[in-house]
Amino acid sequence: MTRNGGTVGGSLSGLMSGLVLRLLKYSVHVLDRSSPETLQSQAAGLRAGPELHSFIETYVKDFDPNYALAPDTLEIVKKSGEGALLEEDDGLVKAVYDTEVKVEDLKRQGDKMGVLYRNLKTNEVEMLEADLVIGADGAHSLVRKVVSKDNIQPRYAECVSWRGRVPEHDVTPETREAMQNRCVIMRVEGGYMVSYYVPSDLIGETSDSKEFVWTWYDTVPGDSPHFIEIVTDVNGNKHSSTVPRGKVQPKVWQSVLDRRDTISNSRFLALLQHTAEPFVSAVHELPGTQSVYEDGKVLLVGDAFSLCKPHAGGSTSQAAFQATMLRNMLEEKIGLNEWQQACTGSASKDIERSLGAAKFFFGGEMPDFVKAMVVRAR
């Protein structure tokens, strides 16, 4: 009999777990509240670790070998939008990826879990009956809130990350030459900036177009009026994590551009000045301790399970590791407890690496593994 897998959240960790379930012949239903436009690459300039490469090679059929440009950089290149990875029909099992559906509650129903979700286009509420629910709904997970007895919430890490993307042809040949094919990191007062050179998925660009994606980790106290201003968008809405592209208040962005003395480097300054739609995220952290709930009928993965500051760029690798171990668990090679232990072990390693990276990026003390990643700016 086909088992039903409901995945709440269709971003990186939801998709990875969904691919594993699909391979194990589950009927998979992914529910994501966001629109297809929002689910496009967020220009995060992800670092892809070995666990992620190995996951892609194992689970993604005919993957595009150019999905990452260099061993240490990743840009998501999927152009078409809605969940093509899962929806490919092999005639064996059903896989559905629904967007603009928001999960509102979970209910235990004997051996199954009922997942109640609202279709945001019609406002109708429906229920999915699942043998297994994967909670992959990110840092502010509703699944975690419903199933855990404690009200576990991520903590703001006193740091925001300004982000943006610039097509490589928009900058001068000098800047292009200095920044291309490299991941450049520059420490600045109160934080650091990173520039990645990645495949472009901007509309109108050709398949071999490249762009620069930059991030500026910037210390901002959570109790300051400036923080409230930053996370409040152009329409006056306050965001818990990310103020999306096109929604950052112009005066807030102008105050960033005005910090020329802090940015100091003309190449980074050029990237910021050529950014059409900057966006900003409040960085959060939450060390994961429990990933198994409801006797194994609800599992937390990705940022819903454990969230660490992104300084070592290991979160996606951690989600890939969790998905790989999920397969072992569902094939009964390991038990639920072992799966949970593996998840917590990997999450603590990720936190350790991130703390090590932060020590250097914020304080100048360089751990060995960062030395191996960094190429000195020319």
Min dist. Cβ of residue 32 to ligand FAD (A): 4
Residue 54 burial (10 A CB sphere; 0-12, 13-18, 19+) = middle
Min dist. Cβ of residue 144 to ligand FAD (A): 10
Min dist. Cβ of residue 131 to ligand FAD (A): 19
Output 26 or 97, the one with its CB closest to ligand FAD: 97
Residue 117 CA to residue 120 CA, distance in Å, equals: 9
Output 175 or 215, the one with its CB closest to ligand FAD: 215
Q: Which of 89, 122, 87, 93 is nearest to 10 (CA)?
A: 87
Q: Which single residue is written with the structure tokens 């993604």?
A: 60
Residue nearest to ligand FAD (CB): 302
Produce one character per residue of 198-233: b if its CB has 16 or more CB atoms within 10 Å, e if not.
bbbbeeeeeeeebbbbbbbbbebeeeeeebeebbbb
Output 125 or 177, the one with its CB closest to ligand FAD: 125
Residue 291 CA to residue 130 CA, distance in Å, equals: 18
Min dist. Cβ of residue 278 to ligand FAD (A): 12
Min dist. Cβ of residue 143 to ligand FAD (A): 8
Min dist. Cβ of residue 264 to ligand FAD (A): 21
SS3 361: helix
Binding positions for ligand FAD, rule: CB under 6 A = 8-14, 31-34, 39, 44, 46-47, 102-103, 136-138, 142, 161, 215, 281, 283, 302-304, 310, 313-317, 319
Output 172 or 197, the one with its CB closest to ligand FAD: 197
- Residues with Cβ within 8 Å of residue 123, at least 6 apart in sequence: none
Output 263 or 312, the one with its CB closest to ligand FAD: 312
Min dist. Cβ of residue 15 to ligand FAD (A): 7
Output 9 or 176, the one with its CB closest to ligand FAD: 9
Residue 103 CA to residue 113 CA, distance in Å, equals: 13
Output 171 or 357, the one with its CB closest to ligand FAD: 357
Contact by Cβ (8 Å): 162, 327: no
Q: Which single residue is written with the structure tokens 């959060």?
A: 284
End-to-end CA separation in angstroms for the chain? 60
